[in-house]
Amino acid sequence: MLEFCKKVLLKVGHNRESFARELGKAVRILQPIEIKQLKAWCRVQFAPAYSDIIRGAFAGY
Mind listing the pLDDT tens digit for each residue in 2-47?
Answer: 999 999 999 999 999 999 999 999 999 999 999 999 999 999 999 9
Range of the domain at 47: 2-57
Per-residue pLDDT at 60 exceeds 90:
no
Q: Domain count of the chain?
A: 1
Separation CA 60–CA 17 (nearest Å): 21
Looking at residue 55, its amino acid is R
> What is the total residue count of the chain?
61
Residue pair 20/57 in contact (Cβ under 8 Å)? The answer is yes
pTM of the model: 0.94
Give the pLDDT band (50/70/90) at residue 61.
Answer: confident
